[in-house]
Amino acid sequence: MNKKTTFFQVIYLIIIILGIIIPFIDYVVVVEMFFLLLPFGIILFLSIIIFIFNLIKYKKEILKQTSTKLIFIIPLFLFTQITSCFLVDKIQNFRSERLIDLLEIKKENYPDSFNTSFGIEYKKAINENKFELKYSRGFMVNEKYDSKNKMWRSYGWND
């Protein structure tokens, strides 16, 4: 492997890690949505045009070119953000359902505190015998479960 290939592998790894983490940091999501959405869209559109042009012009040698390797940075970043949000939502929903099953066993008297981890929050109502579970889906969207209604609701940034 030459230095160029190693450099791009490091860049891709950093982009993947940032793409996984950024949807769950609210302040960064605000900056990304309001200030970077249009530039990312323009760069993505131009990247696709350059990729198609290089594919037609160079055919077999396209993956060896530096410009082609740079083209994949924005799509990779956006893809990892969407994938991480989808996976976290599925995993947290599964874990929350298991916690709900454990808590429903204690239906007469829910505990004041319950040990949850990895981003799931448990809150018992003060005067009522009900609880609420909450987790973040990413991009400032939270899922909340109310034991009284036995329903999940999504809350966005303006709810």
Task: List the pLDDT tens digit at each of the 159 positions of the chain.
Answer: 677 778 888 999 999 999 999 888 888 888 887 888 788 888 888 878 877 887 787 776 666 666 667 778 888 888 899 899 999 999 999 999 999 999 888 777 888 888 887 889 999 988 888 999 999 988 889 999 999 999 999 998 776
Contact of 114 with 134, CB cutoff 8 Å: no
DSSP state of 95: H
Cα 118 from Cα 136, distance rounded (Å): 10
Which pLDDT belongs to residue 46?
84
pLDDT of amino acid 1: 60
Residue 10 vs residues 13, 16, 110: alpha-carbon distances, Å: 5, 10, 48
pTM of the predicted model as reported, rounded to 2 decimal places: 0.75
By residue count, the chain amounts to 159
* Beta strands at 141-146 and 121-124: parallel, antiparallel or unpaired: unpaired
State the Cα–Cα distance between residues 36 and 85, nearest whole angstrom.
19
Q: How many CA atoms lie within 13 A of 27 on its CB side?
A: 0
